[in-house]
Chains A and B, each alone.
Chain A
Amino acid sequence: MWENILLGFATAMTVENLMYCFVGVFLGTFIGVLPGLGSLAAISMLLPMSFYLEPTTALILLAGIYYGGEYGGSIASILLNLPGTPSAAVTCLDGNPMAKQGRAGVALFVTAIASFVGGSVGVVALMGFGPSIAQLGLSFGPADYFALMLLGLVAAVTVGGGSLVKGLIMVVLGLLLGTAGTDVTSGEFRYTFGFLELRDGVSLVAIAMGLFGIAEVVSSVREAGTRKITEKVTMRSMMPTRADMRRTVGPMARGSSIGGFLGALPGAGTVIAAFLAYATEIRVAKDKTRFGKGAVEGVAAPESANNAAAQTAFIPTLTIGIPGSATMSIMLGALMIHGITPGPLLVTDHPTIFWGLIASFWIGNLFLLVLNIPLIGLWVKVLQFPYKYIYPVVIALICIGVFSMRTSVFDVGLVVIFGGLGYLLQRTGYSAAPLILGFVLGPMLEENLRRAMLMARGDAMRMVSDPVTGSILGLSAAMLIWAIYGGVRNVIRSRQVKDIPPGET
């Protein structure tokens, strides 16, 4: 155990890896600060940069971009009250009131500290539980894998909130997009329409850039002109008072444990972690009225939960090969581009990658802390820079990034299609994250189902009757039924409200 951790730090501590970790955190924060772009867009935009690197270094760079993007998103949401991600929305509840009271600096400082604490707790959990879960994963058969992936997809749709039908549409569309290309089992081409480029499947980066990059930029062009930041954030204004410090210790401890636990479960881990941590703080607080008006606990708890969950979300991704969120699926895609298949064997076959990555997670978190406190003034400047000079460059970078993936003009064409579709889907209330998750899991889901059905001789009941497979499938079914029940209940309620004659309410 200890020698593995040492091996990890030895891998991560080379000058080259440290440099790329720094570059990743810096660029990730830069992109995350830009309105409308979050960590997912940051990873997809900078993914091509990682192709020229060793797999371990590439992953370290991507992990750095991920943290940087998350933190940059929090800066933008606290100062502008414009959450880029659902989990940042929770931070906004008290973070933005703090900014309005002239305490933006303290809010940002607490965010940085809470992220670091949460991240560190998550890294420890990843070190402690990762290998044993990988061990467990070794005993899984195709049917169990199928059931687990199904659970992840169902959780992504039901837990995130929003319309169940729309979520399911997105997952199924993602799975369907995943079938395009060469069928692994038979070698037949599916949905290639005669294009050579589609034989390897649709490019993940083209989909992600269209759905998250282009669609987000289009929707933020108009809004961005109207926002102004007036608060001055200096390093001195970031220093919290002694009372602030005392108040954040408990929330950070509770937030990290909640986040660490929830993050390891498949589905929308970080969002629920942030919400639950916030709700817990309100429950344990003596004076509940302070929340929503700039309580420092309301920033510390969700931020630590969100970051702990972000770390433990790597547990299922790395050890079983099943990503729990859209961002994790991009990371999984990046791993596979580098020829590494995440799964139980990763821990034993590629110890330098597994442990090096974990060590660099922690170093990345540390960099984030060191980088962001002195550089906060710079990030605020970036945020104040007129958006009209930023978005054309972002679009250009998306284009060159997608093109350079496979030096393919075809893929840039796909971005046009997915960008157009993505914007329309976003306007009409569809969330793109389940689509990405479905797209990445699709081929694995199909392959495992086909193998499982072959082993069960085409009898689905044999799959269900296995205790492990059956209970995971049962859990997915229960979540789906619960969500349908909730949806039906809402419809009935809204009908009842409508029946009340106007004027009485």
Chain B
Amino acid sequence: MHLANLRFTVAGILAVIGISAFVIALGYEFGSARRMGPGYFPVVLSGILTLLAVSEMISAAMKPGAIAVDWRPFMAILAAVAGFAVTMALFGMIPAFFVVIGLSTLSEPRFGWVPALILAVVTSTGAWLLFSRFLGMTMPLFDWP
């Protein structure tokens, strides 16, 4: 899938980050050049970021070009990491490993659930041995909210 002008969109995201950071930083004490407050640095930086990002938006708008993005692995892998975070918090490490591996394998249309399951079993066993037994990390293997 191609997004009409990804360069423009990304520069736009950066500009939004810059503007929001600038507005938030205005709430911190600015101080003076001699005695800079906590707001001085963020205000200057987010100001520069916004200006640069806007100039990049302009240059992207003048030279449009389609950039290919692999949305399938992108979404699958981000979902896998997010899924890990949620499952880890609720159900512990072993279920979290199954979730992260299962969702990652959705990156490819024909991965197959058998290899995915084997991969999850092998990885979670390895992680249990390495982290819990060898390094002695204390984290719940299974949990129930």
Contact = CB atoms under 8 A, between A and B. Distances in A.
Interface of A: 49, 52, 165-166, 168-169, 172-173, 175-176, 179, 183, 185-186, 188, 190-191, 214, 217-219, 221-222, 225, 388-389, 391-393, 395-400, 403-404, 407, 409, 412-413, 415-416, 419-421, 423-425, 427-430, 446, 449-450, 453-454, 456-460
Contact of B78 (A179, A191, A416): A416
Given A169-B56, A221-B70, A392 B88 contact: no
A24 B2 CA distance: 41
Given A222-B73, A396-B127, A169 B81 contact: no
B2 to A, nearest CB: 11
A397 B131 CA distance: 11
Residue from the set A49, A183, A219 with the largest chain B CB neighbour count within 10 Å? A183
B21 A176 contact: yes
- The 7 A-B pairs at the shortest CB distance, nearest first, are namely A458-B34, A392-B104, A412-B85, A183-B38, A458-B33, A221-B73, A399-B84
B70 A222 contact: yes
22 contacts: A52-B135, A168-B52, A179-B45, A186-B38, A188-B28, A190-B42, A218-B74, A218-B107, A221-B73, A221-B108, A389-B119, A395-B81, A399-B81, A403-B139, A407-B139, A412-B85, A416-B81, A419-B77, A423-B69, A449-B41, A453-B33, A458-B33
Given A172-B52, A173-B17, A179 B104 contact: no
B36 A393 contact: no
Given A179-B41, A412-B84, 8 more contacts: A52-B136, A176-B21, A218-B70, A399-B88, A399-B96, A409-B89, A415-B81, A453-B33
Residue from the set A214, A427, A459 with the largest chain B CB neighbour count within 10 Å? A427
Nearest to B70: A222
**Main secondary structure on chain A at its contact with chain B?**
helix
Contacts of B142: none
Residue from the set A190, A191, A399, A457 with the largest chain B CB neighbour count within 10 Å? A399
B10 interface: yes
A409 B85 contact: yes
A450 B34 CA distance: 8
B55 A389 contact: no
Contact of B24 (A191, A423, A459): A191
A457 B35 CA distance: 8
Nearest to B8: A428
Given A176-B46, A176-B49, A218-B74, A428 B81 contact: no
Residue from the set A183, A392, A415, A454 with the largest chain B CB neighbour count within 10 Å? A392
